[in-house]
């Protein structure tokens, strides 16, 4: 059985770390809050390190605003853009412009949108939920590839270089495994590498089939100018 797994490479750029976690002992942690559950935060740091921090030891968090979905105990799920954590509660701005204050004790878990990660490597060939990998406010490059594809190996390092150099670009590499996989059928892929570029609003700005980094850069430029 094939499983979807996510390997997060956070050492690519310091700009991937958008959050500042202020602890009750006066110390600060710079990193990206990737998960919350059972009154614990999972924080990813430079070099790929990951640590768990009890919510009781966290005074406040300055979040880079990004999409978040809260699973609550005894209440409907809440989605919106998270802005901060203070006094044991999260502040979230919902789609209707309201600000919700969510006590941490009421949140069974939360999941972040793609913005939390500048680089994601996905494998397993299963269906892809674009809403979970596209980064709102950023230019998202989705690279469909396979380990057995020679042309993909040629383009891959160039995409990763672009990801490192441009703070507005996030990269999601999706290993299709083979042509019969669910993800290959989902996107009706006929050739790889197949690179899709999404603008800041999550709209597809262009697709490149083949190893043309220049074509990718052209679509990235156009995506930045899109309104």
Same domain, 107 and 39: yes
If pLDDT is split at 50, 70 and 90, which confidence band does 199 have?
A: very high
Domain final residue pick, 90, 115, 140: 115
Amino acid 109: pLDDT: 83
Amino acid 33: pLDDT: 86
Would you say residue 7 lies in a domain?
no
Same domain, 125 and 100: no
For the segment 3-40, what is each residue's pLDDT rounded down to a tens digit? 333 333 333 333 344 689 999 999 999 888 878 888 88
Tally of domains within the chain: 2
Amino acid 18: pLDDT: 67
Residues acting as catalytic residues: 149, 152
Contact between residue 41 and residue 52 where contact means Cβ atoms under 8 Å apart: yes
For the segment 147-178, what is each residue's pLDDT rounded down to a tens digit? 999 999 999 999 999 988 998 898 999 999 99
Amino acid 66: pLDDT: 73
Domain residues for the domain of 130 are: 118-225
Amino acid 49: pLDDT: 66
Cα–Cα distance list, 98 to 6, 62, 66, 81, 91 (Å): 33, 19, 15, 11, 10
3-state secondary structure of 107: strand
For the segment 80-108, what is each residue's pLDDT rounded down to a tens digit? 888 899 999 999 988 788 899 999 999 88
Across-strand partners of 107?
72
If pLDDT is split at 50, 70 and 90, which confidence band does 46 have?
A: low
Same domain, 84 and 145: no
């Amino acid at each position: 059985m094939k499983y979807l797994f996510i390997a997060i490479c956070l050492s690519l750029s310091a700009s991937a770390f958008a959050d500042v976690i202020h602890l009750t002992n006066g110390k600060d942690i710079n990193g990206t809050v990737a998960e919350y559950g059972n009154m614990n935060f999972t924080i990813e740091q430079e070099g790929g390190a990951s640590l768990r921090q009890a919510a009781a030891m966290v005074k406040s968090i300055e979040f880079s605003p990004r999409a978040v979905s809260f699973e609550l105990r005894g209440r409907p799920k809440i989605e919106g853009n998270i802005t901060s954590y203070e006094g044991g509660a999260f502040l979230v701005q919902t789609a209707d412009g309201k600000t919700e204050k969510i006590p941490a004790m009421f949140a069974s878990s939360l999941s972040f949108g793609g913005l939390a990660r500048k680089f994601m490597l996905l494998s397993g060939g299963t269906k892809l939920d674009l809403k979970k990998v596209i980064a709102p406010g950023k230019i998202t490059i989705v690279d469909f590839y396979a380990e057995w594809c020679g042309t993909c190996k040629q383009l891959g390092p160039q995409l990763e270089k672009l990801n490192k150099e441009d703070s507005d670009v996030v990269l999601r590499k999706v290993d299709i495994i083979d042509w019969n996989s669910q993800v290959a059928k989902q996107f009706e892929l006929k050739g790889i590498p197949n690179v899709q570029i999404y603008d800041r609003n999550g709209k597809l700005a262009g697709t490149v089939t083949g190893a043309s980094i220049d074509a990718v850069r052209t679509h990235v430029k156009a995506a930045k100018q899109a309104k």
